[in-house]
Amino acid sequence: MTFIRNLKLEIKPAKDRFFLPLNNSFEPTADVVQPPETVIQGEVLVRLKRPLKVTSLTLKFEGYVEEKAFGVKSLKFLSQRYIVKEKIVFLQAPNGHQQLSAGTHAFNFSFALGSQLPETVHSPFLNVRYNLVAILKKPGFSTTVKQVKELSISRVSEVSDPDCQPAIVLANAWPKVLDYSVVLSNKILALEQTVPIEFHLWPHSPDIKFLGLEFYLVEEITYMNRSIEGTTNTKRWIKLKSISTLHDSMLTNKLVRVQIPPEARARCDINNEFIQIHHKLEVRILFENRRKLNSITLRCQVIVQPEPLIDEDLPSYMQSFQSQLVEIADPQPLQTWSNNILPAYEVVALVH
């Protein structure tokens, strides 16, 4: 919102987050149903306390890529180029100006969002941004009033996709020591989601003592640098918080709840011509065998998506007050696993 004396300029889109299908290659064929067109809709509001002479009022939908010099802190970007630039003219006075009366003036807008547009991203290599820019021009000094509204574009995958299996099982055996398995109910993980993971351990010796589990989200970024015609790769490990119900360290069946970090700590999966971001879930099993510390590491490919939007309205005060009270039994005690990295024997099993 831009407020200047008797003038207030606002951009009010119906929503500022948009979701496109995860697979961004849609070749027009007779057998493939094209995805429905996503539309950016809303209105531009001009609020006036007094009549105002206006030369023009326009709204632009802009998307651009900012490439960075990786590892160099600078306020400037190596390059900046537009990937989409559309414009709507609401007012255009051919002969000087047009006078708007006092009050609120609403101008509706609509932009089609192409399915091939890359996702919004902020990374060490480049940024992809989308903005709505409203510009009001008037005669005299301080002739331009500008308002910018940032939009976010993400891609989501449906559970019915063939690459998204209903469950992932990571299982293996350490001969004469123990058998183990980790079951993940879904390959798709959402930011800030609490994910239940089943853990099963079958020791072969009474000397084995289970110590705990560690969970990491491994983020791999591949950047396609057009200036040098090459690629740059980087990888980082994001430690995840985990909580489990624990009564006996030798129980063989456990349910662990893992917290996926928010957008400030982790990025979503991205696959376009500029940058690719993929994730793996890494599970480390920590145990003691004959007074020696050991760890086993398992990894699997996962898809990280944005936190889903909630369209339901919150209940009113009276609805909350009149709702039936439910008595909740005392929950089982929770214990947070102690996370200590143990350099020891490691077995890797990767199951897609």
Extents of the domains making up the chain: 2-28+35-156, 168-305
Question: What residues pair up with 12 in beta bridges, in sequence order?
Answer: 43
Query: Within its chain, how far is the Cα of 265 from the centroid?
Result: 10
Q: Among residues 119, 125, 167, 149, which one has the least CA distance to residue 305?
A: 119
CB neighbourhood size of 81 (10 A):
9
Dihedral angle over CA of 152, 155, 158, 162, nearest 10: -170
Provide the pLDDT for residue 14.
Answer: 93
Q: Environment class of residue 223 by beta-carbon count within 10 Å: exposed (0-12), middle (13-18) or buried (19+)?
A: buried
pTM over 0.85: no
Any idea what DSSP says for residue 14? Answer: S
Show the DSSP H helices in the chain as ranges: 317-322
Same-fold call for 2-28+35-156 versus 168-305: yes
Segments of the chain scoring below 50 in pLDDT: 24-34, 160, 162, 247-250, 312, 321, 323-352
Tokens found for residue 141 = 């000094």
Pick the CATH number of 168-305 from 2.40.240.10, 1.10.274.100, 2.60.40.640, 2.30.110.10: 2.60.40.640
Any idea what DSSP says for residue 234? Answer: E
- Indicate the fold that domain 2-28+35-156 takes in CATH: Immunoglobulin-like (2.60.40)
